[in-house]
Amino acid sequence: MLQHMTLLYASVFPLVFMACATSNPQEEALLQWKASLADANSLSSWSPTGSSTCCSWLGVTCDAAGHVVELSLPSAGLRGQLDSFDFAAFPNLTKLNLNNNSLVGDIPFRFSKLPNIVWLDLGSNYLTNPNYSRMSPMPTLEHISMWGNKLGGMFPEFILSCTNLIFLDLSKNAFHGPIPDALAKMTPNLVYLNLSWNGFSGTIPRSLAQLPNLQDLRLGSNIFRGGFPEMLTTISTLQFLSLSNNTLSGSIPMGIGNLTSLQYLSLSNNTLSGSIPTGIGNLTSPGAVK
């Protein structure tokens, strides 16, 4: 009898070991993160049952080889932290969208270990400052949205390594200090830049005029001072410009009429003076000027 039991264990153990060795690390990582969340009712499909893989789970998109390339769970009612998310298990991830949930705590510096990430949206949560100094460069990123969190401190330097960045939204946080001149130099492809509803201060940097593709610039509700940044009138691609709720002073430059692509201009709640330049008549859309 003992001999039979020994043979049984000897034959079963390799099978168990093999099952563990061949388990999908992506599925394990997702299940581990789900288990750490305080509320994950929307993730009921995240279950290792039957013959299905994580590629069929809610919010998960895989490539033909079965690698997870997108994780998109906006407004999924998730409550918890990102600490238990094993970013290293997703080397092929290109898109991470966790917008409008109830995630709290620091953004782990490990998210910068995603080598192919292009789209990162962590907006409208309750996230706090990541350890920026421990983040690796992220040159692949094209889209960053972290609006509506509790992030603070100076302008996050890791963004200056995102040399392919097209879309950047850091609005409704608690950032302060100046906008670094290096932003325009390191992210020349920016089309959308939203830094509104923060505590950014100083003068609006002249370097922003070096962004040749900028279409949408939102700097309202900060503490910017000085005159109207005349260099902005040289950005011919600009379609939306909001500088409202700052402490800008002086006159509006005549060059504002050069922005023939401009469809919306907001300058309210500053201390600008003088007459409105005649060139501003180029803004013909209803409600285009505030």
Residue type, 60: V
pTM of the full structure? 0.88
Note the pLDDT of residue 169.
98
Query: What's domain 153-290's superfamily in CATH?
Result: Ribonuclease Inhibitor (3.80.10.10)
Note the pLDDT of residue 31.
96
Note the pLDDT of residue 9.
40
Note the pLDDT of residue 255.
87
The tokens describing 274, both together, are 């003088």
Nearest to 43 by CA among 65, 4, 71, 84: 71
Note the pLDDT of residue 281.
59
How does strand 60-62 pair with strand 68-72?
Answer: antiparallel
Tens of pLDDT along the chain (290 residues)? 445 444 444 444 333 332 333 368 999 999 999 999 999 999 999 998 766 789 999 999 999 999 999 999 999 999 999 999 999 999 999 999 999 999 999 999 888 889 999 999 999 999 999 888 888 899 999 999 999 999 999 999 899 999 999 999 999 999 999 999 999 999 999 999 999 999 999 999 999 999 999 999 999 999 999 999 899 999 999 999 999 999 999 999 888 888 888 989 999 999 998 877 776 756 656 556 66
Note the pLDDT of residue 283.
65
Note the pLDDT of residue 113.
87
**CATH topology identical between 22-136 and 153-290:** yes
Q: How far, in Å, CA of 52 to CA of 275, rounded?
A: 68
For the segment(s) 22-136, the CATH number from 3.40.50.300, 3.80.10.10, 1.20.1560.10, 2.20.25.240 is 3.80.10.10
The position carrying tokens 């800008």 is: 248
Q: Would residue 83 be called left, alpha or beta, if left means φ above 0 and alpha means ψ between -120 and 50 degrees?
A: alpha
Note the pLDDT of residue 288.
61
Q: Where are the domains of the chain?
A: 22-136, 153-290
Note the pLDDT of residue 8.
42
The position carrying tokens 């270990």 is: 113
Note the pLDDT of residue 241.
95
Note the pLDDT of residue 274.
81
